[in-house]
Amino acid sequence: MTRLSVNLNKVALIRNSRGSNYPDLLQVAKDCERFGAQGITVHPRPDERHCKFSDLPILKENCITEFNIEGYPDKHFLDAVLSVKPHQCTLVPDAPNQITSDHGWDTIGQKDFLKEIIRELKNNTIRVSLFIDADAKLIEGAANIGADRIEYYTGPYAKNFVVHPANAIKEIKETCSLAQQLGLGINAGHDLNLKNLKYLKDELPQLDEVSIGHALICDALYLGLENTIRLYLNQLA
């Protein structure tokens, strides 16, 4: 079964734009779970324009599904993650001022940096996933430094899907088998939506989890949150 983790950053962005607690991020998280989501994801950035670091313990204490925190592992981020102890931490190589994630880790060139961080997180019973491109050497690198999972950066897949689905999925599909052989769990995220999700799932039976926020929240504006989550779950069935 492929689990759906709903990324709530866009909900937090709307909340922060008015300086209030509306929409209530925790209530939205609870509603997502009630509507069938199997996980909640947030990505607190240094400027806290989306999720705030103060949101993390509240979400962890109250969410009943898997809680996943994404982010670049600077000291502030790591201290927060180690304090909260989510079920999963997805490390992304984002610069502080980056608008959105747009590439994966260089698990070879940055192996020493990542290895120590991964060890510390795992010593605190936190599953570690690395945001990564569909490159066999980088996936081997992720396994060699102790990652539990990889999360495919699916931006290129989503972009090319509208032109040629089979070509769009080719590199991910080829390297997915390698990842599985290396003992890595397999996640995916970025620009996934109701048009391209089912094909991804059908082509990658090994897929453990997808993390979806932007498209899901945009769809919910028109379709309603409960209906939207059910539609996404149907794509993964």
Cα-based angle 112, 114, 118 (whole degrees, multiple of 5): 125
| Residue % of the chain over a pLDDT of 90 | 95
Model pLDDT, residue 120: 98
C-alpha closest to that of 11 among 57, 21, 3: 21
Q: What is the mean pLDDT of residues 173-186?
A: 97
Three-state DSSP class for residue 227: helix
Strands (E), 133-224: 149-153, 185-189, 209-212
Q: Where exactly are the structural domains of the chain?
A: 3-236
Q: What gap in Å lies between CA 157 and CA 227, rounded to an integer?
A: 25
pLDDT band at 162 (very low <50, low <70, confident <90, very high): very high
Weakest-pLDDT range from 14-18, 96-100, 119-123: 96-100
Confidence of residue 97 (pLDDT cuts 50, 70, 90): low
Q: 233 is written with which tokens?
A: 């779950």
Domain 3-236: state its class: alpha beta
- How far apart are the C-alpha atoms of 65 and 40, rounded to whole Å? 7
Q: pLDDT above 70 covers what percent of the chain? A: 97
In contact, 174 and 181? CB cutoff 8 Å = no
| Per-residue confidence band for 99, with pLDDT thresholds at 50, 70 and 90 | low
User: What pTM was estimated for this model as a whole?
Assistant: 0.96
In the block, tokens 């931006």 appear at 155
How far is it, in rounded angstroms, from Cα 195 to Cα 54? Answer: 34
**Mind listing the pLDDT tens digit for each residue in 109-143?**
999 999 999 999 999 999 999 999 999 999 999 99
Question: Active-site positions?
Answer: 43, 70, 190
Quote the mean pLDDT of the chain.
96
